């Protein structure tokens, strides 16, 4: 089922169909407060009232013209100003193929550095999402270029690394060496066995080992550069996170460190029952909230992570469903 859903995530035909169906849009709302910037602002203000800061991402990927890149950059600039106006504690997250990586890597580098600088001027760091494996090397180079373009005091930039890729242990050392912050996740794409682990238990083990390495590097005080931006563990696997020392409430003597060196992040709408506890816990906690019209491939990846989410879609099809 996971493979089927990830295959379907690449279908332009299904994307058009999904956007037209009310019951699909109703299900998407579980993971997305709305398509408009005002929706993400309102959701973020509600989270702030619960002491939960946010990271914003505008959905969309694999754009193919410079005009679309300009549009994406303009949308992020509008978001930066809206967040600054609302006084939100904000990070941004952006997909490199949304900034042109797929058709013009130079344009993408210029757009990324410009965005990182603009966000930095308002005190907001920028994360580069990690997409399918052919983009990994170019994304790491982008992250290094963004890091070099900024002074140590700037809020800076970081990059997502996927635990399922065989290459990630080396990439992690390379990013630590370059003083680039890392957001570690398990990985959301359908990847072949040549490049990625296929067994979920093996992916969990890889995540645990890499998270341990990241925490060890953080504990050596590397939160000074990049404007104090912390490394991130992006996961809803509370059971796995609870096996790492000092991350969750009641997690042992390391728990109360005020200079907690890593942050936990989760996606909007997922494992919400843990959020208040995490927000009051020993390490900072943040929620990544998305907005925008181009939600179809991203939504399909959320379904693939937990195929039982399909039941919400099925419920929407029934009489009286959303
Ligand atoms: P796992 O999939 O094992 O889930 C653990 C538990 O969480 C499940 O048992 C379930 O209860 C709950 N859960 C997880 N996903 C759910 C869902 N969709 N719906 C309902 N419940 C769910 N990936 C990537 O390739 N590139 C990237 O740039 C990013 N960026 C990113 C940022 C942040 C902040 C997060 C949290 C995640 C990402 N991801 C990502 C996605 C990541 O790779 C991964 O697919 C998901 O986080 C799911 O993996 P978990 O670690 O949550 O574990």
Distance 198 CA to ligand 1 centre (A): 16
Cα of 235 from ligand 1 centre, angstroms: 5
What is the distance in A from the centroid of ligand 1 to the CA of 53? 18
Q: Which residues pair with 92 in a beta bridge?
A: 56, 126
Nearest to 164 by CA among 135, 200, 211: 200
pLDDT at 11: 73
The 10s digit of each residue's pLDDT in 65-115 is: 999 999 999 999 999 999 999 999 999 999 999 999 999 999 999 999 999
The CA dihedral of 77, 82, 86, 92, to the nearest 10 degrees, is: -40
Alpha helices in the chain (DSSP H): 2-8, 12-20, 22-28, 37-48, 66-86, 105-121, 136-148, 168-177, 200-219, 238-241, 275-279, 296-305, 310-317
Which residue puts its alpha carbon closest to atom 3 of ligand 1?
Answer: 237
C-beta atoms surrounding 6 within 10 Å: 19
Q: How far is the CA of 251 from the centre of ligand 1 (A)?
A: 22
- Return the SS3 of 183: strand
Across the chain, which has 322 residues, the per-10-residue mean pLDDT values are 75 70 74 92 96 95 92 95 94 96 95 92 94 97 90 82 98 94 95 96 98 88 64 96 87 49 93 95 94 82 79 62 44
Q: For residue 155, which of 131, 119, 191, 183 has the smallest C-alpha distance? A: 119
Residue pair 54/47 in contact (Cβ under 8 Å)? The answer is yes
Distances (CA, A) of 125 to 81, 171, 231, 309, 322: 14, 21, 12, 32, 37
Ligand 1 closest atom vs CA 128? 28
The confidence score (pLDDT) of residue 86 equals 93
Mutate-to-test residue for ligand 1 from 210, 235, 265, highest number of ligand atoms within 8 A of CB = 235
Among 164, 158, 162, 163, residue whose Cα is nearest residue 176 = 158
**Calpha distance 22→209 (Å, rounded):** 42
- Nearest ligand 1 atom, CA 267: 36
Residues in Cβ contact with 190 at an 8 Å cutoff, skipping those fewer than 6 apart: 2, 3, 6, 7, 304
pTM of the model as a whole: 0.92
Residue among 128, 161, 305, 313 to mutate when testing ligand 1 (max atoms within 8 A of CB)? 305
First to last CA, the chain: 24
Ligand 1 centroid, distance to 121 Cα (angstroms): 30
- Cα(252) to centroid of ligand 1, in Å? 25
* Residue 191 contacts residue 242 (beta carbons within 8 Å): no
CA-based torsion, 248, 252, 258, 259: positive or negative: negative
Q: Which residue lies with its CA nearest to atom 4 of ligand 1?
A: 237
- C-alpha dihedral (12, 17, 18, 23), degrees to nearest 10: -170
Q: Which residue among 236, 240, 268 is best mutated to probe the pocket of ligand 1, counting the most ligand atoms within 8 A of its Cβ? A: 236
- Taking the CA of residue 187 as reference, the ligand 1 atom at the shortest distance is 43
Please give the pLDDT value at position 256: 45
Contact between residue 153 and residue 224 where contact means Cβ atoms under 8 Å apart: no
pLDDT (0 to 100) of residue 321: 47
Instruction: Please name the residue whose Cα sits nearest to atom 33 of ligand 1.
Output: 234
Question: What pLDDT score was predicted for residue 315?
Answer: 65
Predicted confidence at residue 89, as pLDDT, reads 93
The interaxial angle of helices 296-305 and 12-20, nearest 10 deg, is 90
- Measured distance CA(206)–CA(171) in Å, rounded: 13
Question: Which residues, judged by CB distance below 6 Å to any ligand atom, belong to the binding site of ligand 1?
Answer: 129-130, 160, 162, 185-189, 234-237, 265-267, 270-271, 288, 302, 305-306, 309
Which residue, 176, 183, 87, is CA-closest to 127? 183
Nearest ligand 1 atom to alpha carbon 189: 25
């Amino acid at each position: 089922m996971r493979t089927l859903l990830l295959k379907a995530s690449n279908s332009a035909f299904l994307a058009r169909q999904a956007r037209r169906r009310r019951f699909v849009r109703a299900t998407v709302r579980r993971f997305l407060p709305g398509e408009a910037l005002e929706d993400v602002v309102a959701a973020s203000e509600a989270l702030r009232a619960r002491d939960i800061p946010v990271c914003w991402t505008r959905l969309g990927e694999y754009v193919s013209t410079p005009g679309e890149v300009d549009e994406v950059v303009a949308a992020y600039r509008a978001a930066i100003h809206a967040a600054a106006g609302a006084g939100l504690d904000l990070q941004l997250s952006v997909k490199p193929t949304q900034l042109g990586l797929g058709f013009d890597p130079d344009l993408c580098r210029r757009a990324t550095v410009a965005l990182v600088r603009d966000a930095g001027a308002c005190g907001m760091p920028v994360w580069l999402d990690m997409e399918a494996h052919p983009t990994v090397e170019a994304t790491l180079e982008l992250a290094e270029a963004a890091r070099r373009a900024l002074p140590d005091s700037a809020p800076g930039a970081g990059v997502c690394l996927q635990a399922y890729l065989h290459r990630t242990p080396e990439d992690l050392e390379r990013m630590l060496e370059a003083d680039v912050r890392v957001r570690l996740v398990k990985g959301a794409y359908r990847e072949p066995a040549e490049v990625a682990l296929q067994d979920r238990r093996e992916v969990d083990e890889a995540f645990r080992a890499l998270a341990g390495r990241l925490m060890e590097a953080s504990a050596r005080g590397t939160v000074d550069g990049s404007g104090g931006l912390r490394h991130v563990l992006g996961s809803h696997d509370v059971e796995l996170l609870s096996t790492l020392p000092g991350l969750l409430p009641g997690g042992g003597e390391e728990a109360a460190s005020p200079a907690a060196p890593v942050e936990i992040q989760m996606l909007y709408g997922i494992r919400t029952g843990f959020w208040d506890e995490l927000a009051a816990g020993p390490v900072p906690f943040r929620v990544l909230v998305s907005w925008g019209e181009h939600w179809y491939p991203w939504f399909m990846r959320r379904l693939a992570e937990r195929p039982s989410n399909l039941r919400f879609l099925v419920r929407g099809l029934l009489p009286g469903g959303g």
